[in-house]
A = this chain, B = another copy of it.
Amino acid sequence: MQDISLSLRKQNETIGFVPTMGYLHKGHISLIEKAKKDCTKVILSIFVNPTQFGKGEDYEKYPKDLNRDKILAETAGSDYVFVPSVGEMYAENFKASVKVKELDFVMCGSFRPGHFEGVCTVVAKLFNIALPHRAYFGLKDYQQYLIIKKMVEDLNFPLQIVGCPIIREDDGVAMSSRNKYLSKSERKNAAILVECLNQAANLIKGGFTNLEDIHNTMCEKLSGNPYVSKVDYFDFRDSETLENISSIDKHDFKRSGSNLLIACAIRIGGTRLIDNMVFDIGRVT
């Protein structure tokens, strides 16, 4: 793959790269289509990366359908589908590790220790293999997007990270390969996640500035749903620094050039779901 990428670069092609764990849905397709629009060649990778899964997480059962993925990827505009094996990515004696400190401790990082170190390490590898000019990430995994963007900036990778909007089902639920785990009634109740995000956003638009109050209301609502087995977090954070924000009035958004991130992770049955909303605070205050 690296040889192909080096040769594409020599031929003056612009490489767009979409790293995925496969089991493609419309969210992934939108990344491929955006990459195809921006670049002359698109590489999609499919790799369920063991090092970003914790003990007891869903690595073993992560959904797979490579043949379907290949057809979808090609139809959407991928020129190459790169599907390395675990053994090819991690030699027996593998020892390297890439981290982005601090940003990886909060939110999903505090519930999934080592997750973002696994993500950064594999993405650094994939960047060095695919050698893209631009790499496309869905904003559903907002913290991942931010950490990867910071990694690229800090380590001077010669490429641009493009964050792409969350693609949602008709009822607002964010597209995710993990939605497959949900039973029919679990899937129906999963909409509570985006409902709570919208409700919080509306309260803020309506003039509420005490985010702790909104946080408590939303956590109560989520916990009250019989299908929600656990609320990992419902956080208000600075969209650039991930700093916790308890009151809109007291946070200096201009200093960091950032917005308000409302992000949430819950479990429905055994399935962990995340969603978020970045809220242009300039339009509100």
Residues in A lying within 8 Å of B, measured CB to CB: 2, 6, 9-10, 12, 91, 93-103, 121, 124-125, 128-129, 131, 150-151, 153-158, 241
Between A6, A97, A102, A150, the greatest number of chain B beta carbons within 10 A of the residue's beta carbon is seen for: A97
Pick the contact of A96: B12, B131, B150 (CB < 8 A).
B150
Residues of the B chain whose Cβ atoms lie less than 8 Å from the Cβ of A101: 95-97
Bound-complex Cα distance A125 to B241 (A) = 22
Q: CA–CA, A155 to B99, complex, Å?
A: 13
Contacts of A124 in B (CB 8 A): 98, 155
**What secondary structure prevails in chain A residues at the interface with B?**
mixed
Task: Give Cα distance in the complex from A48 to B237, angstroms.
Answer: 36
Q: List B contacts of A241 (CB < 8 A).
A: 93
Q: Which of B12, B95, B128 contacts A100 (CB 8 A)?
A: B95
Q: Which of B12, B93, B95, B99 is within 8 Å of A97, CB to CB?
A: B99
Chain B proximity of A43: nearest CB distance (Å)? 14
Which single residue of chain B is at the shortest CB-CB distance from A104? B95
* Option from B131, B153, B154, B157 in Cβ contact (under 8 Å) with A158: B131
Residues of B within 8 Å of A93, CB to CB, are: 241
Whether the pair B9, A125 counts as a contact (CB closer than 8 A) is: no
Q: Ordered nearest first, which 6 A-B pairs have the shortest CB separation?
A: A96-B154, A128-B156, A95-B101, A97-B99, A125-B156, A95-B100
